[in-house]
Amino acid sequence: MESLLAELVEILGVELGQYRDLLRLLRIQREHFATYDIRSFEEITKRQGTVVLKIKTLEEARKSIVCSLAQYFDIPHEEFTLAKLATLVDGSYPAYASRCVAYQQEILSFIRELENLRESNAYLIQHALHYVSGVLRIFASAHGTEQAPYSSSGQIEHNAVKGKHVSGWS
């Protein structure tokens, strides 16, 4: 039992370190996006993918340990939380109980912060895409859809008016 608790606490510590890295990378990514440094933005995105894969691997290991602990305490693993574990082991292993509670609070805090950053970055990306779409529409409307006027000899007539007026002034 104590070895499972020790392993769980160790995995949670590493997992929290990966969440810290992910938050740091999201902040850096935001800076690169704001300065239009697309190459660095893409590099940070790749690094984020690596961190997310590490978190997934740790999550699987954590789930395995949690299932074993849930089975030990005869509690359905869907209902087994760090808070419940802390309550169950508080008398026998108070150090692990306090660490479980602290990790639970820290994980919830990271998840909230990650969600806020993700939403904020998604808004920035949507805003940038909207801006680019608007600029592209302006460029497209300046060229018009009419075909170039050809003379009967097949040459382009040079007296055709090209472009559009952007203001009321001619």
Domain extent, residue 41, equals: 2-112
For residues 60 and 132, what is the distance between their CA atoms, to the nearest angstrom?
Answer: 41
Burial letters 128-162, b for 16+ CB under 10 A, else e: eeeeeeeeeeeeeeeeeeeeeeeeeeeeeeeeeee
pLDDT for residue 91: 83
Distance CA 70, CA 127 (A): 46
Q: Give the tokens for residue 63.
A: 């789930």
The pLDDT tens digits of the residues spanning 89-109 come to: 888 888 888 898 899 899 889
What pLDDT sits at residue 65?
Answer: 92
pLDDT of residue 170: 44
| Residue 160 forms part of a structural domain | no
| Arithmetic mean of pLDDT over the chain | 82
**Position 153 pLDDT exceeds 90:** no
> Is residue 169 included in any domain, yes or no?
no
The mean per-residue pLDDT over the stretch 135-160 comes to 65
Residue 139 inside a domain? The answer is no
On whether residue 128 sits in a domain, the answer given is: no
Q: Count of domains in the chain?
A: 1
In a domain, 67, yes or no: yes
